[in-house]
Amino acid sequence: MSVLSMKNIFKSFQNLDVLKDISLEVSEGEVVAVIGPSGSGKSTLLRCATFLESVDAGQVAYLGEAVDFRKKASIQRAKGCFGLVFQNFNLFPHYSVLKNIMDAPVTVQKRNKSEVYQQAIQLLDKLGLADRTDAYPCQLSGGQQQRVSIARALAMNPKILFFDEPTSALDPELTGEVLKVIRSLAREHMTMVIVTHEMAFAREVADRVIFMDGGIIVEEGTPKEVFDQPRQERTRQFLRNYSGL
Amino acid sequence: MIVSAIDVDKLMLMAQQMSQGVATTLSLFILTLLFAMPLGLLVSFGRMSKNVIVRNVTKFYISVMRGTPLMLQLLVVYFGPYLLFGITISPSYRFPAAVISFSINYAAYFAEIYRSGIESMPAGQYEAANVLGYGKGQTFFKIIFPQVVKRILPSVTNEIITLVKDTSLAFAIAVLEVFTIAKQIASAQTSMVPYVAAGIFYYLFNYLVAFIMERVERKLNYYH
């Protein structure tokens, strides 16, 4: 089943065309890695999928239901389908770890507080943060903050989780602990779209890899196809900068 | 002996009159804060509005409030009804007139303080709240405003301390607050004592304000 469907998406900022007729389908349980140079439109694609940017043209659908951008209810319903993990976490600094995770399910989804609490504790336990429930974001390392933000997204029970360069703000050691979490989510067949510069990780965890450049999808396929036998010269050229793949 | 008895009487009378002034100054101060702080938030919204007309009207309002003397505003608010419309004004309008002029003046300053705090918030906080499905009001009051309060607290303290001293301007329309009364007694008794007493009062008042605000700041120091 298709969880996310983006069709013929166009987006430009002033005179700069950032997305030129991009289409993307993500099926349930699929892990898609989006790679490409800076400015290729990867992040803009995620921001359009999560409504942080409006599209100039094209259609976005979640679970087969096309989003009507003129209707708030339609947008709000679609928002219930996805979660987004940011590059720089964007945790709420004035809330404790527990409150960061629990607040949206309780205030936005109006779910039962004790049920949400149970879920939050389970998530924190799973992400190795069981002892940090009462800490504030400023007391955590970057890796811990990113794991909290993953827990915050998961607590909304999304059908699909987007990651916008989730490890770009972290040093290699902290990157490892965050990748470990994403890897375990992949094993549980969480549907995910991951924008990343971690090529080895993309290759290992993704079912499908998309290479973007200049606002278009240059090439896509299985990690083996894209990394080992890239058909496009531009892909080869880009991958040459990453050794040891 | 006789002289000192008169002195004690004089001092007692002075203390009694001054204490009435203290009550008036305190009410003026509290009411001004009560009106100016929420009004300032409204004005800051207008100042940041996407609507060009609303934004420019608000901008003009702020520039007039900041660009003309508070004492002049006080006189305009008090005498305006009579001078402009011929409405007879009674002495009972003095205190409300002071509250009104202080409130609309301080609202302009508070508005700019709020704006500085709101505009300093990183876009990521709005985006995270947006993706999680928070509405506009929820985002502002649950996520943004609490953090803004922490950021602007030092500037707000400054403004409140200035207000304590500015209440003395109400003497211009003969509101019987501490400074007005001190001035009256000082002229009647040709004495420096009332001024000294008033000075001590304002100083202690502000000492208390600074003390409380420091406590509040410390309370919000659990995160950064």
User: Lowest-confidence range among A212-216, A223-227, B113-117, B188-192?
Assistant: B188-192
Are A51 and B134 in contact (CB < 8 Å)?
no
Are A156 and B124 in contact (CB < 8 Å)?
no
Task: For residue B106, give the nearest of B39, B57, B36 by alpha carbon.
Answer: B36
Minimal C-alpha gap between B24 and chain A (Å): 38
Mean local confidence (pLDDT), B2-21: 78
Res A148: pLDDT:
96
The pLDDT > 90 percentage for chain A reads 93
Are B133 and A104 in contact (CB < 8 Å)?
yes
Res B9: pLDDT:
80
Residue B143 lies in a domain: yes
Residue B121 lies in a domain: yes
Strand-pair partners of A5: A25, A61
Indicate the pLDDT class of residue A244, thresholds 50, 70 and 90. low
pLDDT of residue A124 exceeding 80: yes
Residue B110 lies in a domain: yes
Residue with tokens 């003046």: B105
Task: For residue A133, give the nearest of A148, A146, A119 by alpha carbon.
Answer: A148
For A210, phi then psi, to 5°, come to -115, 125
Residue B104 lies in a domain: yes
Res A245: pLDDT:
57
Residue B70 lies in a domain: yes
Number of A/B CB contacts below 8 angstroms equals 54
> CATH number, domain at B123?
1.10.3720.10
Residue B95 lies in a domain: yes
Are B146 and A109 in contact (CB < 8 Å)?
no
Task: Flag whether residue A76 sits within 8 Å of chain B, measured between CB atoms.
Answer: yes
Task: Flag whether residue A87 sits within 8 Å of chain B, measured between CB atoms.
Answer: no
Res A241: pLDDT:
83
Residue B224 lies in a domain: no
Res B5: pLDDT:
63
> What pTM did the predictor assign?
0.89
Residues of chain B found within 8 Å of residue A92, distances taken between Cβ atoms: 125, 128-129, 143
Residue A84 has its nearest CB partner, among B131, B146, B147, at B131
Cα separation of B46 and A132, whole Å? Answer: 41
Residue B196 lies in a domain: yes
pLDDT digits (tens, 9 = 90+) for A130-161: 999 999 999 999 999 999 999 999 999 999 99
Minimal C-alpha gap between A224 and chain B (Å): 33
- Who has greater pLDDT, A15 or B108? B108
- How many structural domains comprise chain B? 1
Res A147: pLDDT:
95
Q: Which domain holds residue B22?
A: 2-219
pLDDT of residue B58 exceeding 90: yes
Residues of chain B found within 8 Å of residue A48, distances taken between Cβ atoms: none
Task: Flag whether residue A152 sits within 8 Å of chain B, measured between CB atoms.
Answer: yes
Task: Flag whether residue A43 sits within 8 Å of chain B, measured between CB atoms.
Answer: no
Residues of chain A found within 8 Å of residue B134, distances taken between Cβ atoms: 104, 107-108
Res B6: pLDDT:
65
Mean local confidence (pLDDT), A72-100: 95
Q: Which residues contact A201 (CB under 8 A, 6 or more apart)?
A: A33, A179, A182
pLDDT of residue A106 exceeding 60: yes
Residue with tokens 């420019």: B56
